[in-house]
Amino acid sequence: MGRTGGLFRSVPRCSGLLGAVRTVAGVRSARVAAAAMSVFVTRRIPAEGLQVLSQASGCRVQQWDSEEPVPRAELLAGVAGTRGLLCLLSDRIDREVLDAAGPDLKVISTLSVGFDHLALDEIKKRGIRVGYTPDVLTDATAELSVALLLSACRRLPEAAEQVKSGGWTTWKPLWMCGYGLSDSTVGIIGLGRIGQAVARRLKPFGVRKFLYTGSGPKPENAAEFGAEFVPLKRLAEESDFVVVTCALTPATQGMCNKDFFGRMKKTSVFVNTSRGAVVNQEDLYNALASGQIAAAGLDVTTPEPLPTDHPLLSLKNCVILPHIGSATYATRSTMAVLAANNLLAGLRGEPMPHELKL
């Protein structure tokens, strides 16, 4: 599938690479401007974000017009000669992509708060600026984290399935019992923006104590909840609920492993809404299947999507969602607009609303 066909689309008012650019200044001046602000968008994004780009003076936008990820070959073709790239967290932007883009690439804007899909060292070497979308998805992700925790600890998917399958025969005193938050200890791995927002939402449930761990104490973040900074091992041992909201780094990759789950209570519930690679999924499966821990809720996995025959999907005490932490209409729209504005600001040599400092 070449660049002249398939799912490549030139956005109206900002022509694709093979078309003319229409602006009031005339075709010739528009072509000059578009050459300076040619942009490739790797996926179909909310209309509000695309509108920001299409209405920018002198901008030329080409888009992979699909809900599905752009194939690798088409990504390499699409970035060639562009000045700006708007990508998603599922797009692996590595040396190969940067080489394909060539020296004209000056700005990468990712429609995500995470950036582990970007080869930052290589990007820094080439002097490319990077924009990202923190803050705007904090509330939506925190809400989803709480929903996932409640779904896992109160066995909501399992109970709903019983209604559909005829397993609900009468009210039974010991049937479908789970674990409540009242008077519990909640451990949060990564008390950043999302971690704090999760704690803020859980506190009214009557949580007795908050623990947190991370790269170091954050007393200014912890004060609102009276949260105590503890080592990872102690957090695992004392928490009734563990919520992972940290960034994926070399230090956190595979951090939740056999040793970690082995220290947790048999009645504890584990929730991860950060990145799948923070968890050793084989160790998590064994902990859930053996009853070492009570339940788990995951919005992120490795890989994504998780194969339908993955062992974790066979467990009733594991709730898995398809990475929908930020999936509200308002949040995704705001993310798209911010990503577009980051990209345009970078192309114009102006300060970005949210720039990742490399």
Residues noted as catalytic = 323
DSSP-derived 3-state class of residue 115: coil
Beta-bridge partners for 266: none
For residue 162, give Cα distances in angstroms to 1, 53, 149, 166: 47, 48, 20, 6
Task: Report CA torsion sign: 1, 18, 70, 327.
Answer: negative
The pair of three-digit structure tokens given for residue 236, joined into one six-digit string: 């695992």
SS3 content of the chain, % helix, strand, coil (to 5): 35, 15, 45
One DSSP character per residue, 234-282 reads HHHHH-SEEEE-PPP-TTTTT-BSHHHHHHS-TT-EEEE-S-GGGB-HH
The pair of three-digit structure tokens given for residue 201, joined into one six-digit string: 């939402």
One DSSP character per residue, 76-104 reads HHHHTT-SEEEE-TTS-B-HHHHHHH-TT
Task: Report CA torsion sign: 76, 78, 83, 85.
Answer: negative
